[in-house]
Amino acid sequence: MKIQVLGSSAGGGLPQFNCNCNNCKAYREGSTTVKRRTQSSITISEDGENWVLFNASPDILEQIHNSPFLHPTKLRETKIKAIVFIDGQIDHTTGLLMLREGCPHEVYCTKEVNEELNTSFPLFKMLKHWDGGGTNYHEIVPNNTQFSIPVMPNYEFYAHPLISNAPPYSKYRDKPRAGDNIGVVVVNKKTGKRLFYLPGLGVLEDHIIEEMAKADVLLIEGTLWTNDEMIKGNFSKKLGTEMGHIPLNGENGLIKVLDSLEKPRKILIHINNTNPILDESTKEYKELISHGIEVSYDGMSIEI
Ligand code: MLT
Ligand code: MN
Ligand code: ZN
C-alpha cells in the first residue's frame, strides 16, 4: 500500500491566515525549522494509479498540484476514485466543493456524517446541481464491520467509532454520536499489513488502544501538545479534550500510550499550528522524537 500525506496540519494550516503564534510567525520570517503545512488529508493506493482520498481538505487543489501522481493523464480524469470522510468537519470536507468538475464522486462515510453533509453543511446536496450529479454515497458502519473499495481489491477496510466531537455547526456538538467520528483500519489481505488512520481522537478507549497495538503504521491525532494550549496562548477558551482532541503530553496524554505499543510506526497528523512540536528547534519536538514518534509532513510517502 502506498500512503501519501497530502496535508499534515489541523484546521487553519500553517501559517494560519490570522495567526501570529510562534510557529506561524517563525514560518513567515523564513525559519528553517518550521514547515508550511496544509490541512489534514491522506491518500492511499494499491496500484499507484487509482487513489482513495481520506478527507477533502480546503487546500485540496494545492495538494493535488503538488502531487504529480494525482494529475490527469487523459483529457479529463481524476485519479481520486473514492473519498472516505472520517467526520463532517470543515477541514476534512470543504475540498469536495473544489472537486465539483469531477462529479460524481464515490463518497464513503457513516450515516451520521452523511446526514451532516446533507443538512448543517449540505455539500452533498449542493453538488447535485453539477454535471455528473454530485456524489454516490456508500455507507460505512462504524462498528468494525468490513467494507471494501473497488479500486483497492486486495484490501479490507474497517471503521472504528472514536469519541471526539461533532462539528461546531452540528446539532450534535458536545453530544456526539458513535459515527460522528471514525478511525479507519486498512488491511492488506495477502500480507496482513495494517494502517490505522485516526486524526481526531478525544478519548483513549481500550478497544482503540487494542486496535492501535495491531497496526504496522499509525497515522494518529497530534493536534495539541498540552490540553490547555489554546487557552494559555489566548487562542481559544476551550480545552483540547472539549474540542475532541486528546493532548500529546502529560499523565493522560497520547505519548504515554504510544510508548506502550511495540509494533507500529507512530506518526502524528492533524497537528495544530500552535503545537510546539512543529518547530524542530523546540524541547517539545526533541522530547517527542526521543519517544520514537514521528511528525508527518506534507508530501510524506509511506509504503507498507
Ligand atoms: C477540529 O478538528 O476540531 C475542527 O477541524 C476544528 C475546526 O473546524 O475549526
Ligand atoms: Mn480538524
Ligand atoms: Zn499559528
Which residue's alpha carbon is at the smallest distance from atom 7 of ligand 1? 11
User: Which among 27, 76, 83 has a CA at the least distance from the CA of 54?
Assistant: 83
Atom of ligand 1 nearest to the CA of 223: 2
Residues 6+ apart with CB under 8 A from 76: none
Instruction: Work out the pLDDT band at 84, boundaries 50, 70, 90.
Output: very high
Which amino acid residue places its CA nearest to atom 9 of ligand 1?
Answer: 11
Residue 22: band (very low, low, confident or very high) from pLDDT cuts 50, 70, 90:
very high
Question: Ligand 3 centre and the CA of 84: distance in Å?
Answer: 28
Condensed to tens digits (0 to 9), the pLDDT of residues 106-140 reads: 999 999 999 999 999 999 999 999 988 899 999 99
The per-residue b/e assignment along 231-260, b for 16 or more CB within 10 angstroms, e otherwise, is eeeebeeebbbebbbbbbbeeebbbebbee
Query: DSSP letters along 23-52, please?
Result: HHHHHHTT-SSB--B-BSEEEEESSSSSEE
pLDDT of res. 132: 87
Tell me the HSE value of 160 on the side-chain side, using a 13 A CA sphere: 23
Angle at 169 between CA 165 and CA 170, to 5 degrees: 55
Contact indicator for 135, 103 with CB cutoff of 8 Å: yes
Question: Residues with Cβ < 8 Å from 258, sequence gap 6 or more?
Answer: 212, 218, 220, 266, 291, 293
pLDDT of residue 131: 87
Q: What is the pLDDT of residues 167-201, one digit of tens each?
A: 999 999 999 999 999 999 999 999 999 999 999 99
> Which pLDDT score, from 0 to 100, does residue 203 have?
97
Type of residue at 117: L
Question: 201: CA distance to ligand 2 center in Å?
Answer: 10
Q: Give CA–CA dist 48/4, Å, rounded.
A: 10
Can you give the pLDDT at residue 301? 98
Residue 164 has pLDDT above 90, yes or no: yes
What proportion of the chain, given as a percentage, has pLDDT over 70?
100
Which residues span the domain enclosing 42?
2-303
With bands split at pLDDT 50, 70 and 90, how would you rate the model's confidence at 65?
very high
CATH number at residue 96: 3.60.15.10
* Average model confidence (pLDDT) across the chain: 98
pLDDT above 90 (res 144)? no
221 lines ligand 1 (CB under 6 A): no
Total structural domains in the chain? 1
What cell numbers appear for 160 in the block? 472504528
pTM of the predicted model as reported, rounded to 2 decimal places:
0.98
Q: In what order do the strands lie in the sheet with 146-147?
A: 146-147, 155-161, 182-188, 194-198, 217-221, 265-269, 293-295
Nearest residue CA, atom 6 of ligand 1? Answer: 11
String of b and e for 117-152 (b: at least 16 CB within 10 Å)?
bbebbebbeebeeeeeebbebbebebeeeeeebebb
Instruction: State if residue 162 touches ligand 1 by the CB under 6 angstroms criterion.
Output: no
Query: CA 189 to CA 176: how far, in whole Å?
Result: 33
Ligand 3 centroid distance, CA of 23 (Å)? 6
SS3 102: helix
The verdict on the CB of residue 200 being under 6 Å from ligand 1 is yes
Residue to mutate, 89, 90, 116, 236, ligand 1, most ligand atoms under 8 Å from C-beta: 89
7 pocket-lining for ligand 1 (C-beta < 6 Å): no
Beta bridge partners of 3: 44, 302
Q: Of all atoms in ligand 1, which is nearest to the CA of residue 11?
A: 5
Residue 150's pLDDT band (cuts 50, 70, 90): very high
Ligand 1 contacts CB of residue 243 (under 6 A): yes
177: DSSP letter: P
